[in-house]
Structure 1
Amino acid sequence: MKKKILALSLLAAVVAGFTSCSKDELSCESVIKSSKTADTEFDKWLHKNFLMPYNIQIQWRYEDNESDMSYYDIPADSAQSVELAHIIKYTCIEAYTEAAGIDFTRRYFPKLFSFLGSFEYENNGNIKLGTAEGGKKIRLLGVNHLDNVKNNREYLDEFYLKTIHHEFVHIVNQTKDYPREFGKITATAYVNDSWSSDAYRDGFEKRGFVSAYSQKEEREDFAEIVSTYIISTPEQWKAILEKAIILDANNNPAKEQPGLTAIEKKLEIAKRYYKEAFKVDLDKVRDLVIERENDVVNGSYNIKKLN
């Protein structure tokens, strides 16, 4: 009871201190400050370029509830966060906007990007590049490594941009599902979590997949074929198809090419799905993405300016 009375007395004293001030006291200003951090020039730029036109929020400051407590996460570097925000805006959001219209981007693009400084490493040796939640949020990891790869388009795709395109496919699929015929093409070839084992890391093209991860399940296969196609130049896509070709004993292309046929059928279904469901031309999206990525890596697009 004494402890309770003491606590109430202290609380009353604190309240009195906030509501009155005598000339004998040093200051009337409360020592308790607002938890809100003052907006930086970057915050103002994000408000103008993401929130206002697209209702998209970039969460670049570290927040516990956006990190995975199973991993050692660190805050994203502010300077590299500026650069990544520019790259996302120019090569992803604005590419889709030009190809499909701003209404498409506003409606379907994820509404929150959360930046974290480090990648997340799993016990099996896999590196987690990013995650999507509920069709609304994408966590992008490894932001503090951006400066090491920003001038190399393939690395930029591998570590950041393909993740965004891949997760965006999942979001679009949640709105309108892709045709069920897609999953029948390689129905017996999905291997779940074994996709990262030695047996499946190579030769996946000949089995009808564009990446090792495609072999996990049908839903990931669809996201991989779309995202891989979007970031591939015609020459890069041709190289993928060539790896799918099976050679006979005389080192000539075999009569039957199940892997090549499967990849081509999957891409045809994906293109038709985007055209019929959303009136989006994937070829146009790809051309714009590649053109804009080239602008970034060759330095013709400024990824540092905030005015």
Structure 2
Amino acid sequence: MKKIVIYLLALTLTGCLWSCDDDKPSGHSIFDTTVGPENEFEEWLLYNYVYPYNIEVKYKMEDIEADMKYTLAPAMPDKCIALSKVIKYLWLEAYDEVAGLTFTRTYTPRVIHMIGSGAYNTNNTVVLGTAEGGLKITLYKVNDIDPEHVTAAQLNDAYLKTMHHEFAHILHQTKNYSTEYQNITGKDYIGDDWSSNSQTEALARSKGFISRYARYSADEDFVEMISIFVTRDQDAWEAMLEASNTVAEGNKETGKALLEQKFEIVKDYLKNSWGIDIYELRSVVQRRGNSLGQLDLTQI
């Protein structure tokens, strides 16, 4: 009886092997295994983002790429074309000019994700951008851009300040800044309370913060200093410092004095850690912003 079972098992296995052998695919796949640009914009992205910087621009809505806690709308292609050209000219190429292509290619994120609407929070704030572990930057409110009537000031407030802000996060997450920075105004970081009505811009400045949001944490404070400095000209920066030239209750120094201490650490950090002169970076960003009119943002 045992022999019969063994023989039957052997015959069964032989049959399976023969059957599997017959199932081997032959010829070409029924699926298209080639991957390439689907349209002229994607071809432009290939030559202007993927090849030089190894950056993928995602402009079609993908749930897996978005934060599910927000109700979001996809970005319109014409808006994405305009913003892609702006980011390359005013952000990527600005760092190329100051720090070199190798630096930009190495430390910029691998993905830029564009979303049409803003990400609105329950505390009446809106998220303009996020950075995820140095790998991806997400930009919101892309549909707000007007390709035919755009200025550097509008772009700075809506998008470019966000790009510099999030990129500065990537830099300090790679090489951290001095712990002395957070000690300057450490008692006045307040987390989510920065957005409450009582926490005004004027109060933040008097306490030594360049913006209300800078009071969220030392990291946010640090990158706000960089992003605001490089997207403002010297006159605008000086005006911010002068508006901070008051002493907040409980403080011994003026907000201006505290901001100047912070700025020295920021300046030294960029120079010593990355070889970047923050004044040169701002000069390049400003010059490119002033020549933005040379770009045609309406077509590839």
Indicate conservation of the 8 Å contact 2:147/2:297, yes or no: no
Q: Distance in 2 between matches of 1:64 and 1:149?
A: 30
Aligned equivalent of 1:303: 297
How far did residue 37 of structure 1 move?
Answer: 8.2
How far did residue 304 of structure 1 move?
Answer: 3.5
Q: 1:230/1:51 Cα in 2 relative to 1: closer, same or farther (>3 Å)?
A: same
Aligned equivalent of 1:220: 220
Deviations 1:123-147 (A, max 9, x none): 1110111111111100111111111
Q: Distance in 1 between matches of 2:82 and 2:147?
A: 12
Q: Which runs of 4+ in 1 moved over 3 A?
A: 32-38
How far did residue 258 of structure 1 move?
Answer: 2.3
Indicate conservation of the 8 Å contact 1:149/1:156, yes or no: no
Aligned equivalent of 1:143: 142
Q: Distance in 1 between matches of 2:72 and 2:182?
A: 36
Say whether 1:262 aligns with 2:258: yes
How far did residue 231 of structure 1 move?
Answer: 0.4
Q: 1:119/1:148 Cα in 2 relative to 1: closer, same or farther (>3 Å)?
A: farther
1:114 is paired with a residue whose SS is strand
Aligned equivalent of 1:98: 97
How far did residue 53 of structure 1 move?
Answer: 0.8
How far did residue 267 of structure 1 move?
Answer: 0.8
1:107 is paired with a residue whose SS is helix
Aligned equivalent of 2:58: 59
1:97 is paired with a residue whose SS is helix
Aligned equivalent of 1:293: 289
Indicate conservation of the 8 Å contact 1:129/1:163, yes or no: yes
Q: Distance in 2 between matches of 1:228 and 1:150?
A: 23
Indicate conservation of the 8 Å contact 1:190/1:215, yes or no: yes
Q: Distance in 2 between matches of 1:149 and 1:268?
A: 39
Percent of paired sites with the same residue? 37
Say whether 1:174 aligns with 2:173: yes
Among 275, 278, 283, the residue aligned to 1:282: 278
Indicate conservation of the 8 Å contact 2:57/2:112, yes or no: yes
Indicate conservation of the 8 Å contact 1:112/1:138, yes or no: yes
- Matching residue's letter, 1:106: R
Larger-Rg structure: 2
How far did residue 257 of structure 1 move?
Answer: 4.4
Deviations 1:22-54 (A, max 9, x none): xxxxxxxx7x88897852111111110111111
Deviations 1:172-216 (A, max 9, x none): 011110011111110111111110111212321111000000011
139-148 vs 179-188, which moves further: 139-148
Indicate conservation of the 8 Å contact 2:37/2:46, yes or no: no
Give the aligned CA root-mean-square deviation in angstroms.
2.3
The TM-score, its normalising length taken from structure 1, stands at 0.82
Deviations 1:36-90 (A, max 9, x none): 7852111111110111111111111111111222122111110110000000000
Aligned equivalent of 1:230: 230
Q: Distance in 1 between matches of 2:102 and 2:36?
A: 32
Indicate conservation of the 8 Å contact 1:245/1:257, yes or no: no
Q: 1:38/1:279 Cα in 2 relative to 1: closer, same or farther (>3 Å)?
A: closer
